[in-house]
Amino acid sequence: MKFTQPKLPYAPDALAPVISQTTVEYHYGKHEKTYVDTLNSLIEGTEYADMPLEKIITSSSGKLFNNASQAWNHIFYFFQFAPDGQKEPGGALLAKIEETFGSFDDFRKQFETAGATLFGSGWVWLSADDKGSLIISQGPNASNPMTQGLRPLLVFDVWEHAYYLDWQNRRADYLHRLWDIVDWSVVEMRYGL
């Protein structure tokens, strides 16, 4: 199986000013494409050639894991955004956020803090366990909560290439502004309860 990079469901300039067209073109258009291309070259002729991407992530290590997970993580990240998406969660997800974190605002603060305090590069995740409980986690490099048996719901990329062209060294400002473009209908669908 050859993996392909899906076309974004919005124009490259649609997320500005939070994520500029230049960042989308470099981050998704070039950076993510390299992960997908490298992944395809690494799995060719191996036991991983016909595996779903999620299975590769949970069963590989080293260079293969890094490229598979980064390919998946970036698609997951970019496809949770919309220029005019649902601005807040509702239903079962909102109820679980309030139960777990106190309020939606408290959740956002805790999530931003997890992203701002991650040393170096990586990701901050909202995930659910098999009972629907919510967990905020941070992880370096190509980390992915699927390796711990969790189901990712939302992710913010805290590698410098995700924000440096637009926000320079102001990671906390970037994280705070990402809420403006999160489409909570996507996150609710991922939660699925």
pLDDT greater than 70 at residue 129: yes
Domains in the chain (CATH in brackets) are 21-78 (1.10.287.990), 91-191 (3.55.40.20)
Q: Which helix (H) or strand (E) holds 92?
A: helix 91-101
* Side-chain half-sphere exposure of 39, counting CA atoms within 13 A: 29
Render pLDDT for 76-121 as a digit per residue (tens, 0 to 9).
999 999 999 999 999 999 999 999 999 999 999 999 999 999 999 9
Model confidence at 193, pLDDT cuts 50, 70, 90, reads low
pLDDT greater than 80 at residue 157: yes
- Residue 1 is predicted with a pLDDT of 72
Q: What's the alpha-carbon Rg for the chain, to the nearest Å?
A: 16
* Side-chain half-sphere exposure of 180, counting CA atoms within 13 A: 11
Render pLDDT for 21-37 as a digit per residue (tens, 0 to 9).
999 999 999 999 999 99
Beta bridge partners of 124: 138, 156
